[in-house]
Amino acid sequence: MSIPEKKKYRNNFVTNAICRLDFRPVAELNGELIDKFRDTVKKEFPVVQENIIKSYAAKFKQGEILEQEPLPDQKIYNFIDVNSENKIELGNDHIVIESFKYINFRIFSKIIKKSFDSLLNIVKDPDYTRLGLRYINQIVLSSGNPLIWTGYIDNSFTSVIDKFFERSPNLSRAMSQVVLNYDDYKLNFNYGMHNSEFPSKISRKEFILDFDFYTEYVENDAIMDLLSKFNKETAILFEKCIKEKLRNKMEVIDE
């Protein structure tokens, strides 16, 4: 099978680009350490929000809850840029960098590296447990039959809708998942017609391509290279999913 050529586009359908790094809980990650983290990112992320996460430990017997025990509250800190286009979420066991207006990986990776460097500035030798890079593409078109994606999305992703359900007007949602295990990393791939108006019948032309690469083998000096690999693999798979009509919408940039 030939590998499709990676292309650059003037526009994209990425609604959320998410990088998450998990590590074993750091009990002292609050107070002065948070202030130190804030000082290193405040130029790019001046808005700070603090949230409290409440959780419980439950005991079950035959599917019924016997008792619930409250766990210590966890503080989550959000650092947001002035245009609310990018956000850093920091907890005592994770850091998440999310872009709501993704442009390209070169820009996104700079934000990621700045965030991770700022984390290492306050936590020495964190014990990493998971690293992930996720792109949610919400393809929304303003016209056309919402169940017909010929020329936009590869027919293999819509064959069940086209052939088995015969594009039934009663469809309310049609999502599928594929999980791939590459030994040292994995991919959760969700695709289909999610329907933002669910449980109403599908009436808007929307299609989701959600690529979530992750690994549980994380070494600090290999993080950025691994994220670059995940980004490249996502781009290759994305090209296999789409057809020329969608490429025309996105406007290919000639280099």
Listed residue (137, 224, 226) closest to 186, CA to CA: 226
Neighbouring residues of 102: CB distance < 8 A, sequence distance ≥ 6: 12, 14, 16, 17, 108, 135
Q: Quick one: pLDDT at residue 2?
A: 54
Q: Quick one: pLDDT at residue 193?
A: 97
**pLDDT exceeds 70 at position 62:** no
**pLDDT exceeds 80 at position 60:** no
Q: Quick one: pLDDT at residue 125?
A: 87
The model's pLDDT over 190-241, given as tens digits with 9 standing for 90+, comes to: 999 999 999 999 999 999 999 999 999 999 899 999 999 999 999 999 999 9
* Cβ burial, residue 139 (10 Å; 0-12/13-18/19+): buried
Structure tokens at 162: 């086209």
The model's pLDDT over 75-95, given as tens digits with 9 standing for 90+, comes to: 899 999 999 999 999 999 999
Mean pLDDT, the chain, as a whole number? 92
Q: Report yes or no: 100 and 86 within 8 Å, Cβ to Cβ.
A: yes
CB atoms within 10 A of CB 33: 17
Range scoring the smallest mean pLDDT among 61-75, 112-126, 178-192, 223-237: 61-75
Instruction: Tell me the pLDDT band of 1, cut-offs 50, 70 and 90.
Output: very low
CB atoms within 10 A of CB 48: 14
pTM: 0.91
Quote the percentage of the chain above a pLDDT of 70.
94
Structure tokens at 246: 């969608």
Which three-class secondary structure state does DSSP give residue 242? Answer: strand
Maximum distance among all Cα pairs of the chain, rounded to whole angstroms: 63
- What is d(CA 94, CA 77) in angstroms, rounded to the nearest whole number? 11
Which residue matches tokens 């992930």?
132
Instruction: Tell me the pLDDT band of 174, cut-offs 50, 70 and 90.
Output: very high
Q: Which residues pair with 53 in a beta bridge?
A: 74
Instruction: Tell me the pLDDT band of 3, cut-offs 50, 70 and 90.
Output: low
Listed residue (177, 173, 204, 203) closest to 191, CA to CA: 177
Q: Quick one: pLDDT at residue 65?
A: 73
